Amino acid sequence: MVYIGHTSKFETRIAVDSDGNPCAVSKCGQLSEAMPSTTMKYAGEARGCFGVCMVKTGVDKYEGKKADIFDYTGQLIVGPAKYGKAKEAELRRVKDLGGIRGPKGR
pLDDT tens track, the chain, 106 positions: 445 566 677 778 888 888 888 888 888 767 877 877 766 666 666 577 888 999 999 999 999 999 898 887 777 778 899 999 999 999 999 888 877 776 666 5
Residues 6+ positions from 11 with CB-CB distance below 8 Å: 34, 35, 37
Gap between the Cα atoms of 21 and 28, Å rounded: 10
Cβ(28)–Cβ(21) below 8 Å? no
What single-letter DSSP state applies at residue 6?
A: B
The pTM for the full model equals 0.34
Q: Phi then psi for 93, rounded to 5 degrees?
A: -60, -45
